[in-house]
Amino acid sequence: MFFCKAKSKSVFNIKVMLNCFELASGLKVNFSKSRIGGIGVEQTKILHFATILNCKVMRIPFKYLGMPVGGCHKRSEFWDEVVNRVKKGLGRWKGRFISMAGRICLIKFVLSSIPLFYLSLFKIPSIVLKKIVSLQRDFLWGWGSDGRKVAWVAWGKICKSKDAGGLDIINIRQFNLALLEKWVWRLNTETGGCGGRYWILSVEDGEV
């Protein structure tokens, strides 16, 4: 990812850098698959810059490595993809034909890992958390079978460890907070901010 000022000269510098990379490495940059976007920049300028780079215009919010960028994570719509993936993983036939032990394994080892990347970067809203827990609870007690099953045990007790009488299913709220606090721990313990392994390349007028 390259960041620069909304100037034609800065965009030209990026293109020159990429051309130099092609000559030095022998690799080819696929501009047709590249995107350019701007924040607080007129659309006419963005279109002009896209013409310079011979690439397409990127809409905001967009996805980078499967993660949404530019959206508001506090809105439930931001998490629709996660909720839909959880719902898709809980097909009606699974709830009807898999035993209780099988449903527990599916929730623990498959469904709990679906929103992992989102939970690693964003705090999940309470309304979204209730939707996911509701899907897990209905699936555990026989989602897809005839009639609504009764939840005989509170979900908080189910998320406790087996030693405490639970089923050791991940508590999504606690899991989310633990993943977020891990970033704080890394920033405080690793030198150079995350070990100095992450860099942002900013292109100014004639300088990098």
pLDDT digits (tens, 9 = 90+) for 38-64: 877 888 888 888 888 888 888 777 777
Distance CA 35, CA 46 (A): 10
Query: Are 101 and 166 in a shared domain?
Result: yes
Query: Are 85 and 9 in a shared domain?
Result: no
pLDDT value for 147: 58
Query: Are 89 and 8 in a shared domain?
Result: no
Query: Are 131 and 87 in a shared domain?
Result: yes
pLDDT value for 128: 92
Distance CA 161, CA 193 (A): 35
Query: Are 51 and 153 in a shared domain?
Result: no
Residues spanned by the domain of 35: 2-60
Distance CA 91, CA 94 (A): 5
pLDDT value for 203: 47
Residues in the chain predicted with pLDDT less than 70, given as ranges, are 65-66, 92-96, 112, 143-149, 191-208
Query: Are 94 and 155 in a shared domain?
Result: yes
Q: Is residue 31 part of a domain?
A: yes
Which secondary-structure segment (H or E) carries 56?
Answer: strand 56-57
Distance CA 13, CA 9 (A): 6
- For residue 34, what are its two tokens? 């590249």
Domain edge (last residue) among 60, 80, 108 = 60
CA-wise closest residue to 57 among 78, 77, 42: 42
Query: Are 82 and 155 in a shared domain?
Result: yes
Query: Are 132 and 39 in a shared domain?
Result: no
Task: Outline where DSSP puts E strands in 42-171.
Answer: 56-57, 62-64, 67-69
Q: Is residue 153 part of a domain?
A: yes
Query: Are 55 and 25 in a shared domain?
Result: yes
Q: Is residue 159 part of a domain?
A: yes
Q: What is the pLDDT of residues 67-99, one digit of tens each?
A: 777 778 888 888 888 888 888 877 766 666 788
Q: Is residue 206 part of a domain?
A: no
Query: Are 33 and 97 in a shared domain?
Result: no
pLDDT value for 90: 76
Torsion of CA 52, 55, 57, 62, to 10 degrees: -130
Query: Are 9 and 44 in a shared domain?
Result: yes
- pTM of the model as a whole: 0.66
Looking at the structure of the chain, the number of domains it has is: 2
Query: Are 88 and 144 in a shared domain?
Result: yes
Number of Cβ within 10 Å of residue 154's Cβ equals 10
Confirm if 127 and 77 have CB atoms less than 8 A apart: no
